[in-house]
Amino acid sequence: MKKITSVLLLVLSMMFTSVHAQNFTTADDAASKRIAADIRMLASDSLIGRETGTPGEWMARKYIESEFRKMGIAPLFDTSYFQTFTFKDKAFVDLGTKLEINGHNLLLYNDYYPLGFSANMAVSGDIVYAGNGIVCDEPAINDYKNCGDVTGKIVLLDLAIPSALSKNKMVWDSSQKVVRVERAIQRGAKAVIFFSSDTSYGNPMKDPSFYNTFLSVPVVYVQNAKWIDTKAPGSASMKVVINRSGQRNGHNVGGYINNNAPTTVVIGAHYDHLGMGFFDSRDPEVIEVHNGADDNASGVAGVLELARMLKSSEYKNNNYIFLAFSGEEKGLFGSAFFVKSNDAAKAKLNYMIDLDMIGRLDAAKNIKIYGTGTSPSWHTVIAKTERLGLKIKKISTGIGGSDHTPFNQRGVPAIFIHTGLHPDYHKAVDDTEKINFEGEYLVVKYTMNLIQALNDTGKLEFKSAGILDKLLTK
């Protein structure tokens, strides 16, 4: 994965820079480059996998907002581009968490991360190196005997126990991370920084929900040892914020083109993903940033490009909502919340198009369209629309694991366009370099052809696509 450490600064600069509506070149190569730029931004390591309710989601939604502003597209939710929903989930590392060592700001999950038993607290001060931090009566070990008074200091500990020592069963209990931190606290330490002098030793659990014990000082692990100097440790400033409330806030991002039409079309895609892979990863042994370039930075990039197209188009018989949903990976939370909201009711929804994983078009140009049975109009429009060489497989059901489902459950005809699953699905290797940017633009152009063909058809009739759909719409 490519390390892009400047993304947060770029997003922050977008927040505070006056952005005016821009005109966009509609040439195919320019559009493909815009799609590539959007995916690279959303699928960069610095967004930490865009897990719902986390700092990564915050950065992603601010980027999407900035793109809507560039286009001159109005906010959907009165004066805001954001719609907030709440859901229950496990503990997570929240906004405000930071670590600075000797004037260097470290990047969360690239350079360091807090341990799940850490206190929520901000501290700063001098660092004192205390070896492994082991205190054991038998055999007689006290790693603090030569490091002086650590009262009010930040204690630096080497996680890697020498192999000869780790084989001693009498040392086992004293070498546990929680115990080592407790020994530091007993000696007056106000924080603990772990690092490892042995890269083969293994890292502590990154999942903040892993521990049930919570200590009284902040504790972090620096996985990039270049920031550590045991001979001249220097000083540090740190803050840990782990949300253990069981509640998270997720955010949908919405823009709106008002054509003063009687009905409104929703074009949507989820922008959240799996974060560090603590949940729902198909490669649970690999705790790394799950960038989700195809799933679903690709879909969001498609929505943004369609917004640019429709902003300057002559298709005015519908209003257009552009929605980036969060919470899809957690259970379609964002889209389900939207369809039940007053914003959806006021919009008089006509139909919905969901773009989810459209970045891996294969050589045969196969795509799948789910939900074609939710309105007779889908079959008609797909049959008459220029396919641009795409081979289309239609699946009638309107129920599935993407954001078209809540719309169909509410009686809004909705389809889900998809270039297919692949071995990288829900793994940390779903990265930008594997995206077919020109292929994605072909899918986006085809989607625009569908929208154009539906411009004069009026309101689409909803039809239940099966027994299960009928039960779920009640």
What pairing do the DSSP bridges indicate for beta strands 247-257 and 74-75?
antiparallel
User: 216 with 185: CB under 8 angstroms?
Assistant: yes
The mean pLDDT of 450-462, rounded to a whole number, is 95
**Distance between CA atoms of residues 430 and 82, nearest Å:** 27
User: 205 with 286: CB under 8 angstroms?
Assistant: no
pLDDT of residue 190: 98
User: 2 with 394: CB under 8 angstroms?
Assistant: no
What pairing do the DSSP bridges indicate for beta strands 154-158 and 98-101?
unpaired
Phi, psi dihedrals of residue 388, rounded to the nearest 5°:
60, 30
Class of domain 7-89+246-473: alpha beta
The mean pLDDT of 51-59, rounded to a whole number, is 94
User: 416 with 357: CB under 8 angstroms?
Assistant: no
The mean pLDDT of 449-455, rounded to a whole number, is 96
Q: Which CATH code for domain 93-243?
A: 3.50.30.30
Where would I find the H helices in 80-168? 163-166
Is pLDDT above 90 for 264?
yes
pLDDT digits (tens, 9 = 90+) for 361-372: 999 999 999 999
DSSP letter assigned to residue 301: H
pLDDT of residue 217: 97
**Distance between CA atoms of residues 201 and 423, nearest Å:** 29
The mean pLDDT of 425-439, rounded to a whole number, is 96
Q: Comparing C-alpha atoms, which of 394, 268, 271 is closest to residue 330?
A: 271
Q: Where are the domains of the chain?
A: 7-89+246-473, 93-243
**Distance between CA atoms of residues 1 and 286, nearest Å:** 13
Cβ count within 10 A of residue 70: 16
pLDDT of residue 185: 97
Is pLDDT above 90 for 434?
yes
Q: Comparing C-alpha atoms, which of 89, 76, 466 is closest to residue 275?
A: 89
The mean pLDDT of 278-282, rounded to a whole number, is 89
For residue 136, the surrounding DSSP H or E stretch is strand 135-136
Residue of 95 and 143 predicted with greater confidence: 143
pLDDT of residue 48: 93
pLDDT confidence of 2, banded at 50, 70, 90? very low
pLDDT digits (tens, 9 = 90+) for 89-126: 888 898 899 999 999 999 998 899 999 999 999 999 99
Is pLDDT above 90 for 293?
yes
pLDDT of residue 95: 85
117 is written with which tokens?
């038993």
User: Chain centroid to CA 317: how far?
Assistant: 34
Is pLDDT above 90 for 245?
no
pLDDT digits (tens, 9 = 90+) for 18-38: 455 666 666 688 999 999 999
Q: What residue type is 42 in one-letter code?
A: L
For residue 350, the surrounding DSSP H or E stretch is strand 349-355
Peptide bond into 296 cis (omega under 30): yes
CA atoms within 13 A on the CB side of 233: 22
Is pLDDT above 80 for 172?
no
Residue of 474 and 37 predicted with greater confidence: 37
pLDDT of residue 20: 56
pLDDT confidence of 183, banded at 50, 70, 90? very high
**Distance between CA atoms of residues 426 and 214, nearest Å:** 31
**Distance between CA atoms of residues 106 and 186, nearest Å:** 28
312 is written with which tokens?
């300057």
CA atoms within 13 A on the CB side of 269: 30
**Distance between CA atoms of residues 310 and 447, nearest Å:** 12
pLDDT confidence of 467, banded at 50, 70, 90? very low
pLDDT of residue 27: 67
Mean pLDDT of the chain: 91
Cβ count within 10 A of residue 285: 6
Phi, psi dihedrals of residue 416, rounded to the nearest 5°:
-130, 115
pLDDT of residue 18: 47
21 is written with which tokens?
């509506």
The mean pLDDT of 321-335, rounded to a whole number, is 97
What pairing do the DSSP bridges indicate for beta strands 98-101 and 319-325?
unpaired
3-state helix, strand, coil in the chain (%, to 5): 30, 20, 45
Q: Which residue carries 């967004």 as its tokens?
A: 47
User: 216 with 105: CB under 8 angstroms?
Assistant: no
